[in-house]
Structure 1
């Protein structure tokens, strides 16, 4: 199964935040959208970075009381790893697990086209396993 299959089911809309937004705005965006990460983009197409709840927690002690007013660009991960719609779920799962990444932007020619989470990947893999099991059951019972 390819990443595009996941995007076909969940959609390609991606919540983004400006690098000039404050951490307070970022935290509000995460809470309101009930998501764990946001792609940082100045134009909602280019991928400037990514910020997750984990990044916020790790940076909190570094900045102290002024943390909520810090700009997103100061805490974002700048070297963003992406996948393509044609990448397989198996490859993404292995990569995400190995690098301990929970959110993977999907890009085509460097442009943001979607986002998959480890939850999306696991769900897709479980659906694939269920389909294979059902096919095997039907094959055995017909034979």
Structure 2
């Protein structure tokens, strides 16, 4: 199965913020949308970075009184690992696990077309296992 199937299920809407958004503004966006990360973009579909709750929490541990006024671009992860719609879910899981990534933007020709989270991958994996379990149960219960 490919990432495009995950996007068909969850949708392609991606919550984004501008690089100059303050951390306070980003925190509000995260809370309002009940999400763990936003894509930072200056527009045009290109990705400048990803800013997650973890990035903000790690910054809180540093002695800095001005954190809430800091910009998204000052805390974001700028070396963003992306995937494409034709990436397999197995490749996605492997990359997310190896790189310890929880949110991966999906791009086509350098433009953002979606965002996949580890939660989306786990949800898909559980649904697959449930389907296989049901099929095995039906086969055992009604072999003919």
TM range (shorter): over 0.9
Residue 68 (structure 2) aligns with: 68
Contact 1:89 1:124 in 2 (8 A): no
Structure 2 length as normaliser, TM-score?
0.92
| Partner Cα separation in structure 2 for residue 54 and residue 115 of structure 1 | 17
Q: Given the two structures, how large is their TM-score scaled by the length of structure 1?
A: 0.93
Pick the structure with more helix per residue.
Answer: 1
Q: What CA distance in whole angstroms lies between the structure 2 residues aligned with 1:134 and 1:61?
A: 47
Structure 1, 15-24 or 58-67: larger mean CA deviation: 58-67
Alignment partner, residue 52 of structure 1: 52
The size of the alignment, in residue pairs, is: 143
What is the alpha-carbon root mean square deviation over aligned residues?
1.4
Which residue does 1:142 correspond to in 2?
143
State whether structure 2 residue 82 is matched by structure 1 residue 93. no
Secondary structure of the 1:64 match is coil
Q: What displacement does 1:59 show?
A: 1.4
The answer for the alignment partner of 2:30 in structure 1 is 30
1:142: how far off?
A: 2.7
2:122 and 2:44 map into 1 onto residues whose CA distance is 27
Q: Runs of 5+ in structure 2 lacking a partner?
A: none
Corresponding position of 1:18 = 18
- 1:131 shift after superposition: 2.0
Aligned to 2:39: 39
Task: Please report how far the alpha carbon of residue 63 of structure 1 lies from its aligned counterpart in structure 2 after TM superposition.
Answer: 5.5
Query: Per the alignment, do residues 63 and 27 of structure 1 end up closer, same or farther by CA in structure 2, a change over 3 Å counting?
Result: farther
Q: Is the 8 A contact 1:16 1:44 kept in 2?
A: no
Cα distance, 1:75–1:94 mapped onto 2, change above 3 Å = same
